[in-house]
Structure 1
Amino acid sequence: MTTHSKHGIVNPNPKYHDQDLHTCTSISPIPKNPVHVVYDHNWKNALQEEFDALIDNGTWDLVPRPPNVNIICSLRIFWHKTKSDGSFERHKARLVGDGKTQREGIDCDKSFSLVVKPATIRVVLSIALSKSWPIINWMLKMHSYMSFYGLKRFADFVATIVFAHSKSDNSLFIYRHDNSTAYILLYVDDIVLIASLNSLRQHIISQISSEFAMKDLGKLSYFFGYCCY
């Protein structure tokens, strides 16, 4: 399939170039119409960040439509990501599949949980705090949500470095070797890494970073309503 990017064409479409009305750093309202996105610098940057993450991780490719297959529609979701204190952090845009257009048994057979359970968060964080283990927060820069392939690839990869799925929560990964222990909590593209040894933590970070583009958010202080001090 022929695309602009495959031919090295990176210049913006002149039809929209002069209509980029919002180029300031202020917070843009949630768009209610696709046209608003075209005209807004902040939302266009959010879309570009999403696309770049897919390309960087090699989890997306544009291909011709295979014959006799059901096409799953897609949706764009826009929202304001906030910090732990509720203040604005950045504009977010995600490409997601429309589940209403999927046919069970044809397009999908089972789903992969992307959201760790609140009870799991409480238990693991309580263990880490009681043992004074450092808690590190990372963000996967790989927003592949059309088929969830990107996150499934993450789960497959951590299995190769001897992490096992928890039987009670598929978004909890556990590593145990001799007296060393590590936990990974996965909430969509947010990762919480807990390890009993600094050397083990650095080793795990090195292995995962070699496979995926990631952003280090530093020590965890707040995670989905739970304070970690």
Structure 2
Amino acid sequence: MRGSGEPPAAQPLPVTFPVPDPPRPKARRPTGAAEAPAGERQLVFFGAETGEPAVADLAGLLVGPGEVHRMGGTARLSLVVDAGWRVHVLVAELAQRGVRASWAPTEDQRYAVRTAYTRTLVPLAAAWLRGTTQHPPAGFPLDGRRLRLWLAAAGVADPPDFLLRLGGTDPVGWTVIGGALVAAGLGGELIEPGAGGPAYRIIGRRGTQRLAELVGERPSAAPPTAWPTRD
């Protein structure tokens, strides 16, 4: 069984979950607009809901298990995830950025998600690849939209903490990502491969709440226990 990013009626996704969320509406508050009334949720500076989805956001997948490959004047993004709900979320997020994705089950009961080769992803490949080696570019920033994609692909709740699993085998790259987490207000603790990583542990209730502020509302496909909350 394989999938092509078509609507669920034409191409069912791997498990029974709600259909992918529709694109999120633009959430910027106009300059000079009044503050939200008491009790209403405030938008967070650099949060996932404060800007329009962009192809550059897909760098959040490369922080985790995502890989980008070039072929001629095109590039493709691929990753393997461990749960069907992640497929739903990622296919929807990619579609919001004009990138079609397909999926297929793997022999170890996970799911491979990948895009077609497209010129749309060439800038992402150019920023992250040196030859065939994948590495975060210098000064790499993490905002809410990139964190949302990283979390959707590889975030794991470990109450009261939250784990953001890393991809690759590049300790120097992991250090760059750790600096980006600090800049985003998420000082994570690096877990080495031999200790159950590689991953960054976002520690405690305060850290998890900050993560929740940045990544935005839980997608309907994600189980409640799989997404950080502001409570």
Give the TM-score taking structure 1 as reference length.
Answer: 0.30
Identify which of structures 1 and 2 has the higher relative contact order when contacts are C-alpha pairs closer than 8 Å and 6+ apart: 2
The structure with the largest alpha-carbon Rg is 1
